[in-house]
Amino acid sequence: MKTITASELAGSPRTPGGTRLFSGLYLNELLVRLLHRQDPHPALFLAYGNALNALKEEGVVDEVLRQFEFKLLQELGFGFDLAIDGITGQAISTDAWYRYDDEYGLVQEENTTTTGRPVFPGSDLLVMSSGDFGEPVKGTAKRLLRQALALHLGGKPLKSRDLFRRV
C-alpha cells in the first residue's frame, strides 16, 4: 500500500466552472475507463491539462473535447489518419464518403444508402486532418470520435454523458 506524505501544487487549479465542469468530468471518465493504473502517458496528461485550461477559457467546448478524444485514441495506439484511406492508402477525396473501420480506420464507402453504417464526408475529414474540429465539422467530428471511442469503452455508457443530459 502506498502512502502520500507530502505534495506540492503543480500550478494553478485547473477546474473549469459552470457547465464546463461536466466536460471536465467527461475527460476524467475517459481517462479512468481507458487507461490502466500507473500507466504513464506524459503526452496524454499534457493534452489533458491543456484541455482543462482551455475549458476554463471562453472557447468552444466541443472543439476542445474532440481534440482531446483524438489525442487519446492516438496515445493509446488506436489512432487513425484523417487524410488517408486505411485500406487503399489513397488520400481522402473531398467528394467521397468514408466509414470508420476499427481495424483500418477510415475506409471509402461506395454505397452510402444501403449499408446502414454511419458515413462521413471526405471534405469534413480533410478539415479535421488539419486539427480543426470546430465549425463547420463539429457534428461529423463528434459522431466519428464517439464511434471510435465506443469500441474501446466496451459498450458501457459514460456516466458523465448521462449527467450532462439531465442538466
Instruction: Render pLDDT for 25-48 as a digit per residue (tens, 0 to 9).
Output: 999 999 999 998 888 899 999 999
- Give the pTM: 0.86
The cell for 65 is: 473535447
Tell me which CATH homologous superfamily contains domain 16-78+155-167: Recombination protein O, C-terminal domain (1.20.1440.120)
**Which CATH class name applies to 81-151?**
mainly alpha
pLDDT at 155: 80
Backbone angles phi, psi at 100, to 5 degrees: -95, 130
Domains 16-78+155-167 and 81-151 share a fold: yes
For residue 154, CA distances in Å to 1, 49, 148 come to: 29, 26, 11
Residue 166 amino acid letter = R
Report residue 76's pLDDT band, with 50, 70 and 90 as the boundaries.
Answer: very high
DSSP string covering 51-111: HHHHHHSSS-HHHHHHHHHHHHHHHTT----TTB-TTT-PBPPTTSEEEEETTTEEEE-S-
Are 23 and 16 contacting, i.e. CB atoms less than 8 angstroms apart?
yes
Report residue 124's pLDDT band, with 50, 70 and 90 as the boundaries.
Answer: very high
For the chain, domain boundaries: 16-78+155-167, 81-151
- Portion of the chain with pLDDT greater than 70, in percent: 87
